[in-house]
Structure formats: structure tokens, C-alpha cells
Amino acid sequence: MFELVAAQVAGAWWYVAAGYTVVLGGMAVFGVALALRIRRARRRLQNMP
């Protein structure tokens, strides 16, 4: 069983890179989206009579 898993995951750097990109990228995208929403809300508040 362990040998089977070891053979399957040999050279699996592609998955590691993909996983880290998705998680760190996801957090960054959410952070940027938040910043944009804050900026838009501030602008709407300023433009209100």
C-alpha cells in the first residue's frame, strides 16, 4: 500500500505548485476584491448628497 502511494506521488511537484498557487492566490484575490469593495463604498458615500 505504502509503496503504491510512493510510486504514485513520485515527482508530484506539479500538484504542490498548483495547491499553493490556488490557496495563496485565492487569499490574495479575496484581499484585492475587499480593497476594491471598500474603495467603491467610500466613493459612493462621498457622492451621496
Partner 1 sequence: MTALRSRWLELLAIVALAASLVRSFTVQADVTQGDVQRLMYVHVPSAWLAFLAFGVTVFASAAWLRTKQDRWDRLAAASAEVGVVFTALAIAAGMIWARPVWGQFWTWEPRLVTTALLFFIYLGYLSLRKAVLDPAVRARRAAIMGIIAFIQVPIVYQSVNWWRSLHQTSSRNSIDTPLRLTLWLAVLAFTFVYLALMRRRLELARLEDQLEARHADSASELAGDGVTIPTLDRVGQNV
Binding site for partner 1 (CB under 8 A): 2, 5-6, 8-10, 12-13, 15-16, 18-20, 22-24, 26-27, 30-31, 34-35, 37-38, 41-42, 44-45, 48-49
Please report how close the Cβ of residue 17 comes to partner 1 at its closest, in angstroms.
10
Instruction: Give the three-class secondary structure for 48.
Output: coil
CA distance 49 to 16: 52
Please report how close the Cβ of residue 6 comes to partner 1 at its closest, in angstroms.
6
